[in-house]
Structure 1
Amino acid sequence: MILFFQFDIPEDIATFGGDHLLVFHCPTHNDAVVAQGASEQLPPGFWDTPPPLYTAPGAFWRIMLHRDDTSPAPDPDEYLRPRRLDLRPAAEHVTIWWPGDVLSDGQDLDSAFTDHGIGLREFKIGGVPSWIQGRESCTCPCGDNLVYVCQVPADTGFAKHHDRPEQLDTFRFGQYGLFLGNETYVLACPAHCHPAAAWPVNQN
């Protein structure tokens, strides 16, 4: 697998602030993530051996979260051209799609936006997901509900080195993509029970 992107999660992001996130993906296998037998409750050992997909013998991606002082790898990636990822704070804009009061008894406005609102469709960390096909959730094998970390917009391209082959089923010449170019929402375990306890929800 090759490293597509990584970043330090800003300290002011709830639950995961201070973590380092890395997203890996196979350069030759390109597909959406739909796991056989995976339900909202992920089975024991899921992060060590994710179940096979409909079209692959196993997971072709890996998302890692860590807080230690791991040093950078000595060699640059051979597939993707390096690009700097700059983060800046921005205001979230949330749309409520149905009229009326979405607040239930005892619910504050922030949680109502998270439960019922649609956020901006852009590359972002934190904020409110821009669910295209409706909110999705999973329960980690450890018992905690996975929490939204970040999202990658549909058809986000990553420039490849000129001597690397074109990616199969890609959406743009000269670039590699993640998960067939689907909008991707990264959910992770708030208990940090496993360094790979993160799930990419794909929607289009």
Structure 2
Amino acid sequence: MFNRVTLARSADGYGMRMSALPEQPVVHESGIPMYLVRERSGRVEQGTRDSVGGWPILPVGEPWPVCFCGERMVLFFQVDIPVDVAVFGGEHLLVFQCPVHNDAVGADDGSERLPEQFWDQPLGSDHSEGAFWRILLHRDDTDSAGDAESYLQPRLLELSPATERITVWSLGDALVDDRPADEVFAARGNGVDEFKVGGVPCWAQERENYVCPCGEKLSFVCQVPEDTGFDKHPDQPAQNFTFNSDQYGLFLGNMLYIFACPARCHPAAAWPVTQN
């Protein structure tokens, strides 16, 4: 159990020291598994599982996603989620978006309950025609698709374990009970602002929660920071509403938080939350 004192970041931003200033943030180095996602050198080949672009490794019975407008979606990235990550460890994550449609995502009425088949018919009047994205999670023993992503330059990705540092500005009486510190901080604080799998979201605005139509609360999977760009092939057109004419971005370059159904209702039962 913690003493009822305030902890603040030291000058290097990571160490811990005692402070009597209540306005200072509390920073907790958690044991929650989290992996940073980074590009690395090397060649993407058919069968590569951690990549920007490349050959998608799709679930059984799932074709390459197509937008409601008829355009084949762009494979932005795919990764194997490390086995020690909560809920979705051991699964393969793929993130697609239409090369033409590019927008933020949100519910008009602030509803937390997602509709039936929300992966095809999402919340929000701006998405009445259907989803322009598809996020897939699966454990199927499938081969890669026969053709590669054509819009983005392929890049190898690596996932490196890192410490999830959770910052909280107000704990109140949260630490006077017997709950583990990781649980308390995760429920109230923000993790690091990085491209990562696992860990705790770093919310740009208020935290958001969503419930699958099956009744399960969606669980956090992955975070992509604001204005994360993915290099396009030089002969491909610039993305609509882009922040960089040489790159494509997800959801207008907003901060992206991916949540998915822990009951695994469907390989595409995942929801993108966008903030800035």
Scaled by the length of structure 2, the TM-score of the pair is 0.70
CA contact (8 A) 2:102 2:241 kept: yes
Q: Deviations over 1:145-189 (max 9, x none)?
A: 000011000000000001000001111120000000000000011
**Aligned-pair Cα RMSD in Å:** 1.7
Residue of structure 2 in register with 1:187 after alignment: 259
Q: In structure 2, how many angstroms separate the alpha carbons of the residues matched to 1:175 and 1:56?
A: 27
Contact kept, 8 Å, 1:36 with 1:53, in 2: the verdict is yes
**In the alignment, what sits opposite 2:154?**
82
State the shift of 1:5 in Å: 0.3
Q: Which residue of 2 aligns with 1:102?
A: 174
CA distance in structure 2 between the aligned counterparts of 1:101 and 1:40, rounded to whole angstroms = 27
Contact 1:33/1:202, CA 8 A, preserved across alignment: yes
Pairing partner for 1:130 from 175, 186, 202: 202
Q: Percent of aligned pairs with the same residue?
A: 60
Alignment of 1:11-22 (within 5 A): 11-22=83-94
Over 3 Å counting, the alpha-carbon distance change for 1:30 and 1:117 in structure 2 is: same
- How has the CA–CA distance of structure 1 residues 53 and 6 changed in structure 2, closer, same or farther, with 3 Å as cutoff? farther
1:55 to partner: Cα distance: 6.2
Determine helix, strand or coil for the equivalent of 2:221: strand
| Greater mean alpha carbon deviation, residues 48-57 or residues 12-21 | 48-57
Unaligned 5+ segments in structure 1 are: none
State the match for 1:164 in structure 2.
236
Bigger Rg over Cα:
2
Match of 2:193 in 1: 121
Residue 10 (structure 1) aligned with residue 112 (structure 2) = no
What are the Cα deviations for residues 43-74 of structure 1, in whole angstroms up to 9, with x where unaligned?
Answer: 22323433464266221101000110121111
**SS of equivalent to 1:110:** helix
Contact persistence 1:16–1:190 (CA under 8 A): yes
SS of alignment partner, residue 161 of structure 2: coil
Flag the structure with higher strand content.
Answer: 2
Structure 2 equivalent of residue 199 of structure 1: 271
Displacement after TM superposition at 1:42 (Å): 1.3
In the aligned structure 1, how far is the partner of 2:237 from the partner of 2:193? 30
Q: 1:81 & 1:56 partners in 2: Cα distance?
A: 31
Counterpart secondary structure, 2:245: coil
The answer to whether 1:148 aligns with 2:234 is no
